[in-house]
Chain A
Amino acid sequence: MEARAPAVHYLNVDYGVRSWLFTTDHKRIALLYLGTITLMFLIGGIFAVLIRLELLTPAGDLVSADTYNKLFTMHGIVMLFFFLIPSIPAVLGNFLVPMMIGARDLAFPRLNLLSWYIFVLGAAVSLWAMLTGGVDTGWTFYTPYSTSASVTKVIPTAVGIFISGFSSMLTGLNFIVTIHKMRAKGLTWFRLPLFIWAHYATSIIIMLGTPVIAITLLLVALERGFHLGIFDPALGGDPLLFQHLFWFYSHPAVYIMILPGMGVVSELIACFARRPIFGYGFVAASSLMIAVLGFLVWGHHMFTSGQSVYTAFVFSFLSMLVAIPSAVKVFNWTATLYRGSIAWDSPMLYALGFIGLFTMGGLTGLFLACLGVDVHVHDTYFIVAHFHYIMVGGTIMAYLGGIHFWWPKITGRMYPEPLAKAAGLIVFLGFNLTFFPQFILGYLGMPRRYHVYPPEFQALNVLSTAGASILGVGYLLPLCYLLWSLRYGPIASANPWGAAGLEWRTTSPPPTENFPTPPVVVRDAYDLDGVAAAPGEVAVG
């Protein structure tokens, strides 16, 4: 039976720029974010292309040393603060959190819109700094280089990031209050989808951590502006205090970036294996454990910085512990596949790609938590490889998987499946070719942030750049076919995947108020009773 789009839905209920710029509909705000962060991803990607092109040869022959230093700094800042941190929560979270719990919107819709404007403002300020001179401190802003030695636009960049932190916090605030107070009737905590648990844990991290980076960047700006001496030893300050304050947020920040991805993967696996996630309670608890433990490990970024041996022991020990809940998730996802009924649709392939690459990236985290090895590989390409495996191999794969999975719900259209599979494969192969050689480079001793390097490292760098070009193609493909599908893709039904979940019990695209009548929940999160197996046969409402 052919699917038919609803006559009126959130996209066509109102037209015009004003209806978008002044919307309070969480779904439209999610799309505003989608547009903005896609732009930021492209900008960050251009920086990456230039970096990899420079690194094709050992000499610094493409750009000057100062330009190169700005490129890797700005690549990091744009990708972390203006792409990865908002990505899944601000796009998929904003769209889905109310729907998954049967609500009509988030608790504070106007604050939601405000968070997008604040994000745009923060991005604009930082981008302006980058375009009018750039910043070269590394995304980590270590002092005293950032406060005293660098002659670049440190203060405006820091201010831009400071501003965007409030955007993040407003989103986190909205999620926490919404999940606590606006669940549908019958939707108890342990019936919540794991996507919700993941975003709840993420929001806790956001609320506790972001204020600390805010005050730290503010202090950097003040010190740089007024020569105060908080972090500069020449003025009586302590550069290690900066590192502690900085990493107190920036380590939990990586869990802000990965937990939502894990939430997406849980949804995808449950749907495409047609099974509830094995060990649901343990997976939910592991999200919270990661959030808590994640705040206790920041010192593992400082094993060579001169902190005491006993401090290092404590942080190494706790860092080992934080690996365990992630391992528990991977095993539970794998066990979910056992005796499942597994479809090979593209979102599932992205989810499985996530599991493979995240497992590799996460296990290399053990190398770094391990004191003896970290001394050798800290500040080398081993670290670069490790975090790209998690951030790109993990988060971005999950993000793309989620975009594909919920695309029919968001847009009412299906994308071309063969192209999606091809893109997934290209991304997977391109990614591994780009970043696996970097593990080897790191152990060999190639430091990170190096504009020129010894000639014997060239072969591996060439492999990495080749991989990056393939990866780039893999990312551009979805951009093209997803946009294409908006006009030419087949109309999607309300539940084309046959998934459980409240968001699939309303039309694709949904009406503005999400549900014509508020749903009442009587089943667990992934219980497929009452959900039709064949696409297009779901009774709506």
Chain B
Amino acid sequence: MAPFPLFPPEASTMAARVDALLFFLLGVTAFFVALVATLIVVFMVRYRRRAPDERPAAPHGSVPLEVGWTAVPLAIVMVIFFWGASIYASLRRPPDDALPIDVVGKQWMWKVQHLEGRREIDELHVPTGRPVKITMTSEDVIHGFYIPAFRIKQDAVPGRYTTTWFEATRPGTYDLFCSAYCGTLHSGMVGKVVVMEPRDYEAWLAGGGAVSAVDAGKALFEANGCPSCHRPDGTGRGPALVGLFGSRVALEGGTSVVADEGYLRESILNPQAKIVAGYQPVMPTFQGLLTEEDVMQLIAYIKSLAAPPAVRTER
């Protein structure tokens, strides 16, 4: 049989951090297993019963020992907790300048949308040296977006957006698995992550010839009649969308919410859930009329309404 791997490649900035913690955990485990096993074997042999009527008279307890072997493990697990929590906090907080890529999982494939326009199925091309933020959802059941080489995993949940991020460090091809059981071809929902040097990545991006997500979103925006209510000057039946993304929105009833991707998605598919203060609940729902990918493109377009127009990459 060919030599087989025993350890996954480290191909992201987080991988080394996770592996360091892993080795600490392995050390703690090995230490305590060895300690307990050794003590047991030594005691088994040393105190083996010599006569059938042996009655040992040994202590029944020791409060200092109990305190000790409670406090020491407690201290060790607290170290593990803080270390792990700090890694997790980094994992859940993508850098602001991360390159956004949208992913939709569906039985049984991963659909990837680069904002500049290239789309992939079961493949994800990314550059090295740049943080990438994946925004994902599912069209049907829960799927798990898992790239072992990057040490990241995030469930794609239908009905909401979830995100993860990574910064790839080594060019190469790595596995993408669906980690959340999703039916018949769950184990067939695998793909390849192709990490390229930044120049190669730009070349690959440009080779698509496809419409950018922003342009596709704009086309959808117009095709579905959105401008009739969402006028740029805010005089329509719906609020203006320029500068909306990332701002705080006042809602009917006095609460407010930050207009993130999840809010935008909900406003399109379930507009009655949150009504903007001062507006009527008259927006129809587009559930069933737009796919998740359509919604992601619309959101890309709405996000672009915050920035000055010269954002499109030249072809």
Chain B neighbourhood of A273, CB < 8 A: 47, 56
Chain A neighbourhood of B244, CB < 8 A: none
User: Once bound together, how far apart are the Cα atoms of A273 and B1, in whole Å?
Assistant: 47
Does B148 lie at the interface of the complex (its beta carbon under 8 Å from any beta carbon of A)?
A: yes
The residue in chain A whose Cβ has the minimal distance to the Cβ of B15 is A376
Contact between chains at A65 and B184 (CB < 8 Å): yes
Contact between chains at A149 and B140 (CB < 8 Å): yes
Contact between chains at A450 and B73 (CB < 8 Å): no
**Interface extent on A, as a size class?**
35 or more
Does A212 lie at the interface of the complex (its beta carbon under 8 Å from any beta carbon of B)?
A: no
Contact between chains at B54 and A341 (CB < 8 Å): yes
Does B256 lie at the interface of the complex (its beta carbon under 8 Å from any beta carbon of A)?
A: no
Point out the residue from A69, A276, A363 that lies within 8 Å of B186, measured CB to CB: A69
Chain A stretch 309-335: residues in CB contact (< 8 A) with chain B:
309, 312-313, 316-317, 320-321, 323-324, 327-328, 330-332, 334-335
Known contacts A274-B56, A366-B77; A142 and B181 CB within 8 A of each other:
yes
User: Once bound together, how far apart are the Cα atoms of A378 and B91, in whole Å?
Assistant: 15
The residue in chain A whose Cβ has the minimal distance to the Cβ of B69 is A331
Contact between chains at A533 and B54 (CB < 8 Å): yes
Does B248 lie at the interface of the complex (its beta carbon under 8 Å from any beta carbon of A)?
A: no
The residue in chain B whose Cβ has the minimal distance to the Cβ of A343 is B49
Contact between chains at B47 and A341 (CB < 8 Å): yes
Chain B stretch 1-43: residues in CB contact (< 8 A) with chain A:
1-2, 4-8, 17-18, 21-22, 25, 28-29, 32-33, 36-37, 39-40, 43
Known contacts A334-B39, A366-B77; A138 and B181 CB within 8 A of each other:
yes
Does A278 lie at the interface of the complex (its beta carbon under 8 Å from any beta carbon of B)?
A: yes
CB distance from A134 to the nearest CB of B (A): 13
Contact with A along B90-133 (1 / 0, CB 8 A): 01100000000000000100000000000000000000000000
User: Once bound together, how far apart are the Cα atoms of A149 and B74, in whole Å?
Assistant: 44
The residue in chain A whose Cβ has the minimal distance to the Cβ of B176 is A445
Contact between chains at B28 and A366 (CB < 8 Å): yes
The residue in chain A whose Cβ has the minimal distance to the Cβ of B26 is A367
A-B residue pairs in contact (CB < 8 Å), sample of 26: A239-B157, A275-B56, A278-B59, A279-B61, A303-B88, A304-B179, A324-B77, A327-B69, A328-B69, A331-B65, A331-B69, A335-B65, A338-B43, A342-B47, A356-B37, A366-B25, A369-B77, A370-B80, A372-B18, A373-B22, A375-B18, A375-B152, A376-B18, A379-B153, A379-B181, A453-B187
Chain B neighbourhood of A338, CB < 8 A: 43, 47, 58
Question: Apart from A317-B85, A375-B18, A376-B153, what 19 extra A-B contacts exist at CB < 8 Å?
Answer: A69-B186, A144-B140, A275-B58, A279-B66, A303-B88, A304-B154, A306-B157, A327-B69, A328-B66, A337-B47, A338-B43, A352-B40, A355-B40, A363-B29, A370-B21, A371-B88, A450-B187, A456-B2, A456-B5
B interface residues, tally (CB under 8 Å): 87
CB distance from A387 to the nearest CB of B (A): 15
Contact between chains at A282 and B175 (CB < 8 Å): no
Chain A neighbourhood of B257, CB < 8 A: none
Chain B stretch 145-163: residues in CB contact (< 8 A) with chain A:
146, 148-149, 151-155, 157-160, 162
User: Once bound together, how far apart are the Cα atoms of A448 and B182, in whole Å?
Assistant: 12
Interface with B: A203-211, A396-404, A457-465, A472-480, which one?
A: A457-465
Contact between chains at A450 and B186 (CB < 8 Å): yes
Contact between chains at B36 and A356 (CB < 8 Å): yes
Known contacts A149-B141, A342-B44; A316 and B81 CB within 8 A of each other:
yes
Chain A neighbourhood of B154, CB < 8 A: 304, 306
Chain A stretch 196-234: residues in CB contact (< 8 A) with chain B:
233-234
Chain B neighbourhood of A460, CB < 8 A: 4
User: Once bound together, how far apart are the Cα atoms of A369 and B21, in whole Å?
Assistant: 13
User: Once bound together, how far apart are the Cα atoms of A306 and B91, in whole Å?
Assistant: 12
Does A449 lie at the interface of the complex (its beta carbon under 8 Å from any beta carbon of B)?
A: yes
Chain B neighbourhood of A137, CB < 8 A: 181
CB distance from B50 to the nearest CB of A (A): 8
CB distance from A315 to the nearest CB of B (A): 11
User: Once bound together, how far apart are the Cα atoms of A303 and B89, in whole Å?
Assistant: 12
Does A452 lie at the interface of the complex (its beta carbon under 8 Å from any beta carbon of B)?
A: yes
Chain A neighbourhood of B28, CB < 8 A: 363, 366
With a 10 A CB-CB cut-off, give which of A69, A137, A534 has the most chain B CB atoms: A69
Does B185 lie at the interface of the complex (its beta carbon under 8 Å from any beta carbon of A)?
A: yes
Does A121 lie at the interface of the complex (its beta carbon under 8 Å from any beta carbon of B)?
A: no
Does B302 lie at the interface of the complex (its beta carbon under 8 Å from any beta carbon of A)?
A: no
Point out the residue from B55, B87, B152, B180 that lies within 8 Å of A274, measured CB to CB: B55
Contact between chains at B32 and A359 (CB < 8 Å): yes
Does B142 lie at the interface of the complex (its beta carbon under 8 Å from any beta carbon of A)?
A: yes
Does A521 lie at the interface of the complex (its beta carbon under 8 Å from any beta carbon of B)?
A: no
Does A528 lie at the interface of the complex (its beta carbon under 8 Å from any beta carbon of B)?
A: yes
3 nearest A-B residue pairs (beta carbon): A445-B148, A233-B159, A372-B87
Chain A neighbourhood of B234, CB < 8 A: none
